[in-house]
């Protein structure tokens, strides 16, 4: 990875699924070197109970009542995200939506969703979606031989990093993105897309026209 310290692997635990009404109650950030940049519980500002989410992540109000809010943490987290070149997660769009709703500026950062890319190869085909079904992080980790404790933000972030590293070397994935690249180039050629050679030809033609007009 180029500049691994600028690639962040993130995971959040939240009070629910709605970024407008629910909040982050745990956040983990791991860099490309595998170093933990941040990990802690976070006190939400709107809610005191989230029973359905507690059934999944085990986090209660007692766990977070003495923690800082995300706004309290912003002075430290802001520079971390501002310096990031890429943010990687499993269903990363979910995490990004919650962070943005909390006021974290992330429009400048490239994102990569391990869930979508892994599922594009190994997900079961859905006739209804006409696409492959999304697979759980536990299924991805199991496929690549990793064990972890699910729904702990730090464990999830670390195993996402490991799965990302394996995915980047997975022959099936490399073959798929290679084919996608070839198909794109072919489509551009068939649609009259102008590549490097075409641009050179246009420039030469323009120079000839200018030469004729001047002399």
Q: Are residues 9 and 113 in the same domain?
A: yes
CA distance 43 to 71: 10
pLDDT tens per residue across span 54-96: 999 999 999 999 999 999 999 999 999 999 999 999 999 999 9
Q: What is the CATH number of the domain that holds 12?
A: 3.30.420.10
Q: Are residues 153 and 75 in the same domain?
A: yes
pLDDT tens per residue across span 120-152: 999 999 898 889 999 999 999 999 999 999 999
Q: Are residues 98 and 132 in the same domain?
A: yes
Q: Are residues 191 and 139 in the same domain?
A: no
Q: Are residues 110 and 36 in the same domain?
A: yes
Q: What's the Cα-to-Cα distance from 98 to each of 13, 68, 170, rounded to whole Å?
A: 10, 17, 30
Structural element, H or E, at residue 75: helix 70-82
Q: Quote the pLDDT of residue 129.
A: 84
User: Quick check: 211 pLDDT over 70?
Assistant: no
Q: Are residues 88 and 193 in the same domain?
A: no
Q: Are residues 38 and 77 in the same domain?
A: yes
Q: Are residues 192 and 87 in the same domain?
A: no
Q: Quote the pLDDT of residue 43.
A: 98
| Contact in structure between 19 and 46 (CB atoms under 8 Å) | no
The neighbouring-strand residues paired with 197 are none
Q: Are residues 99 and 27 in the same domain?
A: yes
Q: Are residues 55 and 94 in the same domain?
A: yes
pTM of the model as a whole: 0.82
pLDDT tens per residue across span 148-202: 999 999 999 999 999 999 999 999 999 998 876 666 565 555 555 555 555 555 5
Q: Work out how many domains the chain is built from and give that number.
A: 2
- Which domain range does residue 192 map to? 177-214
Q: Are residues 97 and 185 in the same domain?
A: no
| Mean pLDDT along residues 6-31 | 97
CA distance 148 to 43: 25
Q: Are residues 31 and 65 in the same domain?
A: yes
């Amino acid at each position: 990875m180029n500049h691994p310290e600028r690639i962040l692997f993130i995971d959040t635990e939240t009070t629910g699924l709605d970024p407008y009404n629910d909040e982050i109650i745990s956040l983990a950030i791991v860099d490309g070197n595998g170093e933990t940049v941040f990990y802690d519980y976070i006190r939400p500002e709107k809610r005191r109970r989230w029973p359905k989410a507690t059934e999944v992540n085990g986090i209660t109000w007692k766990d977070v009542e003495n923690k800082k809010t995300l706004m309290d943490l912003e002075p430290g987290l802001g520079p971390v995200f501002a310096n990031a070149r890429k943010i990687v997660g499993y269903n990363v769009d979910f995490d990004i939506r919650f962070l943005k709703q909390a006021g974290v500026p992330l429009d400048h950062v490239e994102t990569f969703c391990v869930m979508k890319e892994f599922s594009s190869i190994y997900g079961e085909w859905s006739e209804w979606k006409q696409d492959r079904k999304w697979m759980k992080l536990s299924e991805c980790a199991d496929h690549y031989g990793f064990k972890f404790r699910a729904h702990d933000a730090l464990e999830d972030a670390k195993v996402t990093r490991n799965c990302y590293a394996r995915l980047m070397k997975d022959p099936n994935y490399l073959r798929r993105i290679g084919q996608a690249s070839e198909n794109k180039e072919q489509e551009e050629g068939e649609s009259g897309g102008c590549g490097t050679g075409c641009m050179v030809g246009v420039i030469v033609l323009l120079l000839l026209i200018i030469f004729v007009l001047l002399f």
